[in-house]
Amino acid sequence: MNIQEKRKRLQERLEHNIKHENVGTAIAITGSWGVGKTYFWNKFLKDVTNKEIEDKNNFYYEASKVNYQSIFDCRKYAYISLFGMENLSDLKNAICTKLTLNPYAKKDSNKWEFSTLFKNTVAQFRDMKVSQYGVSASAKILESLLFLQVKDAIICFDDFERMSNKLDIKDVMGLANQLKLEKNCQVILILDEDKAEGENKSKYAEYKEKLIDETIIINSVEPLIREFSQEMDDQLINLMVEFADKLEIHNFRFFQKVIKLYKDFREKLPEIVTYSTKKIILIRILQGYFIEDFGVTYGISWVDMSIEKTLERVFSDEDLTGILKRLKDVSYDFVDVDDYWFIQFKNWFEQRDSTDILMLCKLANSELISENNNLIKEQLDILMNQWRNLEVDSSYCNHLFQKSYESIAFNNLESLDFHCFLLKKFGRNDLSKQLKRAVFAWLINELYADYEHVWDEATTFGYKKENIFHWYIKRWKLNNPSAGFPSLFDILKVYVLEKSIKNKAELVLQHATQQDWEDFIFVQSSTDTLLSNLTKGELMTKILKQNIDKNLTPLIKQNIKAILLTKHNASTDQFQKKNIEFVVENFKKEGLL
């Protein structure tokens, strides 16, 4: 029975009972915590009430409107949360004070109702004692008078799971039975039967047989997902619904987080974004929260969904099972991952600040958002599925090479390495080598520009020695040890002026050449607005007294001494020579050289 059929069944049951029976009915709406039981009931009551009002307003003759026998819009109603109730008296008082006209029909109604303010005022006197002529009487009689008006109403009890242990469930069920049989009330009980514990569970089971006439089970969060994601594309909403059903997630609070993060992120993107980009963003958010909330339960992590794990399964002929298969059934993008979105969302979920999505926004506004790149990705996905399904034909290798070549700038090195492997396996070693050379050429430019970023992106899941591109990056680093380091000028300027030590400062000092030191002291510092205020003697003194790494002091002394000696020997001016000798002598007296 789908959600619409359940709504129809609930409406038929209530309408029949109100029209034809002399006693009320009791209907339980059950389901797991967070599945949307209260939402289901509130939306049902609102919709059927509005439908009655609309039907009545559509009558042409006023007499027809007056004679129209409505079921819901004229019905008194009380919604009672059991949270905080400590005894039966509190519960009765809550019913009395909250009983009002149907809240969804009030705007359309000109009926007079007993003032809620007056009821609340009277209820405050229920615990007072009055005495006259020596006779003591309880003001609780006022509560009984108020309770007399409770009849022919719809009463909804909610939050059974949060009910105080001071309130016995049999008292609640007994009162519900009284409302049903003696007051002709339609009683709705919203609860998670599985959450009842101990004695309360057995008492509920006992009274359920006597009280409950119908049970409606809510087991899908689809209505809530659709209600709160109306601004999203229909395909994305359907994806979330399928994700909820396949993964059996019955708590809407999970999807609240997903929808909120998606909307927060979407607001920071350009107004026009390709559907494929929006889809991959949603998939990565679903993936991240699923690992965060259910990873321990199912024993999965980001690594299990990586391209590396996919390739391991391919080569070992291992089929997807369990939760990974269910994820794949929703979308292959959950378990066959080959995009930078996966890496960036993984980083964000593992070390995120609640408001810091700048990296993701930068990614979304980068070349990955390009329609052309997304199209290439989709074509590569099709090509990968072709060989998995044994559908490779004579044109396959040419297509794979072409699309891999076009994807070098935004594809990951694991996938590109695998594409080279496939081309070689299918007898096109020429195309395999050509693709490798193209990747190497791209890597050289990227490594010089930002080695750290390239290395971090390539080895998110660790260094793979069998991956030729990982091997190349590592070898390139050995041949270019200072690549990716800040300059000596950048390191020394902040240290000399602010005593601040930048990241990798020790390595920069260690690899600095004599020429680097000379350029900083005698060229760069002279043209810098702030450093030029220092004399060369002051500058060298601060450098020789450095606290960045004391183990490097001998090396620094050696370089500065060599620079001064070179300048001394190269000078033909006797006064300049004596000046240098005097500086060196002072440094030695101070123990700096």
β-bridge partners, 216: 29
pLDDT of residue 77: 92
- Which residues is 155 bridged to in the sheet? 78, 187
CA-to-CA separations, 505 to 158, 269, 482, 489, 554, in angstroms, rounded: 63, 37, 11, 11, 16
CB 580 within 8 A of CB 571: yes
Quote the pLDDT of residue 217: 93
Reported as half-sphere exposure (CB side, CA atoms, 13 A), residue 22 has a value of: 0
Backbone phi, then psi, for 132, in 5-degree steps? -145, 130
Q: What string of DSSP letters covers 301-345?
A: -GGGGSHHHHHHHHHTTPPP-HHHHHHHHH-GGGTS--SHHHHHH
CATH number assigned to the domain covering 3-114+149-218: 3.40.50.300
pLDDT at 132: 43
- In this structure, the number of other CB atoms found within 10 A of the CB of residue 141 comes to 12
> Given this model, what pLDDT does residue 160 score?
87
Strand order in the sheet with 100-101: 100-101, 76-81, 153-158, 186-191, 25-30, 214-217
Q: For residue range 490-509, list pLDDT tens digits in order.
A: 888 888 888 887 777 887 88
> Per-residue pLDDT tens for 48-97?
999 888 887 777 666 656 566 678 888 899 999 998 888 888 898 889 88
> CA-to-CA distance for 265 and 259, rounded, in angstroms?
10
The pLDDT of residue 360: 63
What is the per-residue pLDDT for 100? 85
Q: Which of 55, 27, 56, 272 is nearest to 155 (CA)?
A: 27
Query: Which of the residues in the chain have pLDDT under 50?
Result: 112, 114-115, 117-119, 121-123, 125-137, 139, 353-356
**Letter for the amino acid at 66?**
V
β-pairing verdict for 100-101 and 129-132: unpaired
Please return the burial class of 56, using the count of CB atoms within 10 Å of its CB with bins 0-12, 13-18 and 19+. middle
Residue 198: per-residue pLDDT? 58
Give CA 457 to chain center in angstroms: 22
CA distances from 543 to 204, 227, 342, 509, 555 (A): 80, 65, 44, 11, 12
* pTM for this model (two decimals): 0.61
